[in-house]
């Protein structure tokens, strides 16, 4: 049984640069996707916070409202 194997090839600078560029491309795609998701989530959270603040403000305003009766004689 004889297995023919090619001698190991040396890794050169161009091989490393090509692999790093490939990885960097994947990272850029992932980063853009993550930023878009984060912006969408941030917008939803901001709208939620404003809505909750509005609702609590209305509730507080209703509790503090004074009812004044005007009677004519």
Does 46 or 20 have the greater pLDDT score? 46
Place of tokens 């901001």: 46
Task: Indicate the pTM of the whole model.
Answer: 0.50
| Residue 65 banded pLDDT, cuts 50, 70, 90 | low
Average pLDDT over residues 4-24: 85
pLDDT confidence tier of residue 63, bands split at 50, 70 and 90: low
Question: HSE of 59 in the Cβ direction (CA atoms, 13 Å)?
Answer: 6
pLDDT at residue 35, as a whole number: 93
pLDDT, mean over the chain: 84
């Amino acid at each position: 049984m004889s297995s023919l194997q090619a001698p190991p090839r040396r890794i050169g600078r161009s091989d490393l640069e090509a692999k790093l560029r490939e990885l960097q491309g994947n990272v850029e795609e992932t980063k853009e996707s993550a930023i878009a998701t984060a912006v969408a989530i941030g917008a939803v959270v901001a709208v939620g916070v404003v809505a909750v603040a509005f609702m609590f403000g209305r509730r507080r305003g209703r509790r503090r409202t004074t009812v004044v009766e005007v009677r004519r004689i």
